[in-house]
Amino acid sequence: MLRRLGIRLLTGVGIVLLVTTFTFLLISLAPGDPARLWVGPGAGQAELEAARQVLGLDRPLAVRYLMWLANFVRGEWGTSLAYQQPVARVIASAVPHTLLLSCASLLLTYIIGIAIGAVQAARRRTAVDTGLTVASLLVYGMPAYWLAIMLVLVFSYGAARFGWPAWLQLPALGVAGLDADFLSPWGRIVDRLRHLALPLTTVILLSFGETMMLMRMSMLETMREEHVLTARAVGYPDRVIREKHVARNAIMPVLTRLGLSLPFVLVGSLVIERVFLWSAMGRVVFDAVEFYDLPMLLGVLSVVGVLTMVAHVVLDVAHVYLDPRLRYAEGS
């Protein structure tokens, strides 16, 4: 187990290094001058050259990359051109909100998708199976921003206009209400959950269909394996077979997909965050692109790479723990 974990960590570090290197080269060679954006359009040539020296743009590209990498490892990620604050401070204030939305959406997406996929496999080729498949495909094909706007129209403006119950009148924008600082601790939690409801629902609706179909196919394939057919021939009840012989084996490909989907959930959440003005990494990324904020872009992409690497390592350990065959291979 320790050997496998060490190999995964080294592989993850190498992937993060490759991603940051490619990102640094891509951003550095893109058209535009960060120094010009920093000093403003009315600055003279002397001010522009001074800004380039401060930003390190007067050095060769390879030297700039090595300096940035050394500083990044030490936690010195530079100063954001858009926020005029240390990059680490801006990211530290934004990451918790993104992790809350991403982790909650991943957890609920896979719980819902696995449960519905199992129901579909148990009732395959029935009206329930067909209806759930069609509904999930319809929602999956909707543009993220359009679905987000529709949910706002229904549960914010529509709910208030037609006098729906207060718990259905959900906030449309922000991570907390204007009066959040004056609420009790429990009141702040409820306020945060109410603001989380619409963006979280949007991400779940756009994501659960893929997990559902994967779980359905995996269970149907597992049902055709020899040990399942033998258990059915012996006379085990179908419920016992599904729970003990099918579900546990069928969930392995779904867990593998969980690690691969984390980067896409993080990136997809950025668009949702922008629509709902969720003050997290989405706002930071869009501001960094608009202001050609090289230090911020590099910091954000590096953090996403590290989070993805950590998630892959954790899921790999969980995979070994859940699959006895992998544990046996590790022991041998």
Q: What is the pLDDT at residue 23?
A: 76
- Give the pLDDT score at 326: 56
Give the distance from CA 318 to its chain's centroid.
19
Question: What are the φ/ψ torsions at residue 216 (nearest 5 degrees)?
Answer: -60, -50
- Residues linked to residue 86 through DSSP beta bridges, in sequence order: 79
Non-local (6+) Cβ contacts of 190 within 8 A are none
Token pair in block for residue 98: 């993104």
Question: Nearest CA to 195 among 205, 180, 207, 206?
Answer: 180
pLDDT digits (tens, 9 = 90+) for 275-302: 787 777 777 877 787 777 778 888 887 7
Largest CA distance in the chain: 86
pLDDT at residue 196 is higher than 70: yes
Query: Which residues face 79 on adjacent strands?
Result: 86
**Percentage of the chain lying above the pLDDT 70 cut:** 80
pTM to 2 decimal places: 0.71
Helix, coil or strand: residue 86? strand
pLDDT tens, residue by residue, 9-55:
777 777 778 877 887 787 777 666 666 666 666 666 777 777 777 66
Q: Indicate whether 273 pLDDT > 80.
A: no
Q: Greater confidence, 141 or 3?
A: 141
pLDDT recorded at residue 280: 73
Q: Which two tokens stand for residue 15?
A: 């992937």
E-assigned strand segments in 197-296: none
The residue among 60, 70, 56, 58 whose CA lies nearest residue 20 is 70
**How many angstroms from the chain centroid is the CA of residue 171?**
22
pLDDT at 332: 45
With residue 16 as reference, give the H or E element that holds it.
Answer: helix 2-28
Above 50 in pLDDT, residue 269? yes
The span from the CA of 219 to the CA of 223, in Å, is 6
User: Per-residue pLDDT tens for 46-76?
Assistant: 777 777 776 677 777 788 888 878 887 787 7
DSSP secondary structure of 56-84 = TTTS-HHHHHHHHHHHHHTT---B-TTTS
CA distance 187 to 179: 10
> Does residue 166 surpass a pLDDT of 70?
yes
Instruction: Give the integer Cα–Cα distance in Å for 34 and 43.
Output: 13
The CATH number of the structural domain formed by 92-296 is: 1.10.3720.10
Q: How far apart are CA 76 and CA 68, in angstroms?
A: 8
In sequence order, the 6+-apart residues with CB closer than 8 A to the CB of 330 are 1, 3, 4, 320
Residue found by looking up tokens 């496998």 in the block: 4
pLDDT in tens, 203-252: 888 888 888 888 888 888 877 777 777 777 777 677 777 766 676 777 77
Tell me what the mean pLDDT of segment 118-143 comes to: 84
State the Cα–Cα distance between residues 265 and 258, nearest whole angstrom: 10
Of 106, 149, 37, the C-alpha closest to 264 is: 106
